[in-house]
Amino acid sequence: MKSLAMLLCLTLAMVGCTSSYKSDRLEGSAAPQLAKGACSIYVSVPEDGSYQGSVGAGSGAATARAIVTAFIPYTLQADCGSVRESHDAAMASASAGGFTHYIEPTILNWEDRATEWSGKPDAISVRLIVFEVASRRQLDTVVIHGSSKWATFGGDHPQDLLPEPMGKYAAECFGALPPPTSSGGSGL
């Protein structure tokens, strides 16, 4: 009986030690198939995210940097703005910089919780819209969700949830990952 209880505790601890991610997109849509090493990406800085009136200061810049970091391995160049821009201003910045594609992120949810004592995980939801700069054509819209592990000892923040799903999305855009099998969530 004692070993069964220990096994159950170990299983629960292992499950609680991983963050979870998923993505949602419209049925029938897919990540754009970009040519590795032949395109450049400009990312605008979204408005800082918030949750229940608490603003995650710097979350917009952190989100833009995470997207740039995810796309750099596949592109000729990836960069982000230094300040928040309107859609038209960001598209103009992308065009003036000679970028082939523009990614417009929007933070939909930014929950920074005291998971270590509340048991409630940090959570994020970020919408990415990918545009082709020359034609201004929208290529993809995806919402990426992330939820932190609940077994934490403090120090985790929502921005820690960005690298993995952004990296998987970038890989999917360049054909480095197989496309998801359903529209409900790709496991990002």
Question: Within 10 A of 178 (CB to CB), how many other CB atoms are there?
Answer: 9
The tokens of 139 are what?
């290529």
Of 90-94, 115-119, 172-176, least confident by mean pLDDT is 115-119
25: in domain: no
Predicted confidence (pLDDT) at residue 155 exceeds the cutoff of 80: no
pTM equals 0.81
CATH number for position 102: 3.40.50.10610
Residues 6+ apart with CB under 8 A from 171: 74, 177
Whether residue 80 lies inside any domain: the answer is yes
Range of the domain at 77: 30-107+125-142+161-173
Q: In whole angstroms, what is the distance from residue 80 CA to residue 2 CA?
A: 55
The answer to the question of residue 75 being in a domain is yes
In a domain, 72, yes or no: yes
Q: If pLDDT is split at 50, 70 and 90, which confidence band does 186 have? A: very low
Q: Is 182 part of any domain?
A: no
Domain presence at residue 133:
yes
What pLDDT shows up at residue 114?
61
Residue 94 inside a domain? The answer is: yes
Give a yes or no: residue 73 inside a domain. Answer: yes
Candidates 43, 34, 107, 44; CA nearest to 75 is 34
Q: How many domains does the chain have?
A: 1
What's the CA gap between 64 and 83, in Å, rounded?
10
